[in-house]
Chain A
Amino acid sequence: MATFEYEGVSIQVDEDGFMEEPEKWNEEVAKALASTEGVTELTEDHWKVVNYLRDYYLKFGVAPMIRKLCKESKYSLKQIYELFPSGPAKGACKVAGLPKPTGCV
């Protein structure tokens, strides 16, 4: 566990840079985490993805399938990668304050 600090935000992250305490997530935290994933500015498109992931996680306790994310957000897989260069799991989920998915990833 380590402390990650960025522009006034201070949070605990695991060794992959995911939040240790997802309940402490807020929009400022999202911006701070985005800076670690090659996203300099969170646009409306980014927020649509982030908010969907966040809501799904709070409701079901896991990240949604990539299919669900694309279907609900109306973005193609290609667009998701354009928004989050490190991909939906390591990029978008991290910014949305989800823990690292378990499994071969």
Chain B
Amino acid sequence: MSDPTDMMIADAGIDEGIKKLTPERIEQTIRHVLDNESAARMKVYLETCVHCGLCAEACHTYNSRDRDPDYAPVAKVKNTLWEMVKRKGKVDGPFLKNAARIAFTECGACRRCSMYCPFGIDIAYQIMTVRRICSLLGLVPQYLQDTTNSHAVTSNQMWVQPDDWIDTLMWQEEEAMSELSGARIPLDKEGADVFYSVIAPEPKILAQLIGNMAVIMKAANIDWTMPSADGWDNSNMAMYSGDFEVMGRVERAHWERAAQLRVKRIVMGECGHAYRGAVYDGPKWLAWKQPPIPMVHAVEFYYELIKSGKLVIKRKIEEPVTVQDPCNIVRGRGLHDKLRYVIKALCEDFRDMEPRHEHNYCCAAGGGVINCGPPWKLSRMKSIRCKADQLAATKASLIITPCHNCHSGIEDIIGHYKLGMHVKFINELLVKAIDLES
């Protein structure tokens, strides 16, 4: 059965919401989502699953929690969505508290299970449907809801104000100039080859990553720009909290800002879920056949720059290195070979993970799980013991994580399981490795 300690975790975002519900509202909301919002594929998935359980061993939560059947993906769906369907929406508060915990904190929507399902059922889609229902009912973990609220008000996820955004870019431009003469962060340059977008934790906390990119762009001689106003944050936590109205607005703002500047393409920083939101979930919700402008993830961009010789690697990293394949750009986009090309160009001693590529284990932070905040930290650590074993087995000292959620999640794993390793973004290594003289 599910861990009783986790079942008792208090989260005002869920607990206070439950107090405001009525049986009628619960039933109407669930029926609305099931009848009007979920696509035909939901019906197909529900009718196709034969409960074979092959998804179980694909899941890090199941593997890390002593193979308890309650943590198998099929059980997570059975204890949430199937019951909602079976009972035609007539479920109560305690049922919904359990469902919210499962959907928001015990599944990172990493989609590893779908690869092991004989029918390829998108179990994460079913879990996201549960989150959608929870969101409409006002049952979202408080920390996660705060990021959605920030998206709704400011478009970005960390309450960054417009003047602070510009001030940060100007500051990082100066920092970049002190590293490499002529480095700039051109704002709102119409027709630029590259529109570079980041996620809000970069300007808010990790501003050096933006300065690093300015150095890289100058070193590779790229015609690029960053937007001065809303649309600069490509992240989207509303996608994971189930507030699809805000999710759509945020994705539209990002694409429209780039389109307004008539740029040739978008390059996104090292973030996985942002890529997923911009390429898949956003356009689908907005009913776009395809996004208006081409877009590449930073990993693909670095690959191009190194492969074409625009960036020359002068000093390689000597310590033993491994790499985390983020779900949304590897399982979701197949960037594992390009990622390894970049890593091998940068590092002398690369030690791959096992399993790897699209079979890699999730970081347990993505999918909005780390965003559920401190109340759920220990539960998250219990759900990811298999990742700690996988990391330790590489005997690397540095883990490269080209995704913000992977980065923070693995930092937590290192601390909790005392692995004595450290994490870096590619950007941080690249800026130290390239030849700034030529």
Task: Show the binding face of A for B, using Cβ within 8 Å.
Answer: 14-16, 18, 62-63, 65-68, 70-71, 77, 87-89, 100-105
Q: Say yes or no: A104 contacts B207, CB within 8 Å.
A: no
Nearest CB in chain A: distance from B161 CB, A? 8
Nearest CB in chain A: distance from B208 CB, A? 6
Task: Show the binding face of B for A, using Cβ within 8 Å.
Answer: 143-144, 146-147, 150, 157-160, 164, 167-168, 171, 175, 199-201, 203-208, 235, 237, 271, 273, 370-371, 373-378, 404-405, 408
Nearest CB in chain A: distance from B286 CB, A? 23
Q: Please judge, given known A-B contacts A15-B375, A102-B146, whether A65 and B157 are in contact too, CB under 8 Å.
A: no
Q: Say yes or no: A103 contacts B158, CB within 8 Å.
A: yes
B contact face: mostly helix, strand, loop, or mixed: helix
Q: Say yes or no: A15 contacts B377, CB within 8 Å.
A: yes
Nearest CB in chain B: distance from A95 CB, A? 15
User: Whole-angstrom distance between the alpha carbons of A105 and B271 in the complex?
Assistant: 12
Residues of B within 8 A of A103 (CB): 147, 150, 157-158, 200-201, 204, 237, 371
Q: Out of B171, B200, B271, which one reaches A67, CB within 8 Å?
A: B171
Q: Please judge, given known A-B contacts A65-B203, A102-B147, A104-B408, whether A16 and B208 are in contact too, CB under 8 Å.
A: no
Q: Quick one: closest B residue to A13, CB to CB?
A: B374
Q: Please judge, given known A-B contacts A14-B374, A15-B377, A104-B235, whether A62 and B167 are in contact too, CB under 8 Å.
A: no
Nearest CB in chain A: distance from B22 CB, A? 29
A contact face: mostly helix, strand, loop, or mixed: loop
Q: Say yes or no: A102 contacts B205, CB within 8 Å.
A: no
Nearest CB in chain A: distance from B123 CB, A? 23
Q: Say yes or no: A102 contacts B171, CB within 8 Å.
A: no
Q: Say yes or no: B164 contacts A68, CB within 8 Å.
A: yes
Q: Please judge, given known A-B contacts A102-B147, A104-B157, A104-B199, whether A66 and B205 are in contact too, CB under 8 Å.
A: yes
Residues of A within 8 A of B375 (CB): 14-15
Q: Quick one: closest B residue to A17, CB to CB?
A: B374
Q: Say yes or no: A104 contacts B370, CB within 8 Å.
A: yes
> Known pairs A18-B374, A100-B373, A102-B143. 17 more at Cβ < 8 A?
A14-B373, A15-B374, A15-B375, A15-B376, A16-B373, A16-B374, A65-B204, A67-B203, A100-B374, A102-B373, A104-B200, A104-B235, A104-B271, A104-B273, A104-B405, A105-B205, A105-B370
User: Whole-angstrom distance between the alpha carbons of A70 and B208 in the complex?
Assistant: 12
CB pairs A–B below 8 angstroms (19 shown): A14-B374, A15-B376, A16-B373, A66-B207, A77-B208, A89-B205, A100-B143, A100-B374, A101-B205, A102-B150, A102-B373, A103-B201, A104-B157, A104-B235, A104-B237, A104-B371, A104-B405, A105-B205, A105-B370
Residues of A within 8 A of B144 (CB): 102
Residues of B within 8 A of A67 (CB): 164, 167-168, 171, 203, 207
Nearest CB in chain A: distance from B178 CB, A? 10
Q: Say yes or no: A16 contacts B377, CB within 8 Å.
A: yes
Residues of B within 8 A of A65 (CB): 160, 164, 167-168, 203-204, 207
User: Whole-angstrom distance between the alpha carbons of A89 and B203 in the complex?
Assistant: 12
Residues of A within 8 A of B200 (CB): 103-104
User: Whole-angstrom distance between the alpha carbons of A29 and B334 in the complex?
Assistant: 48
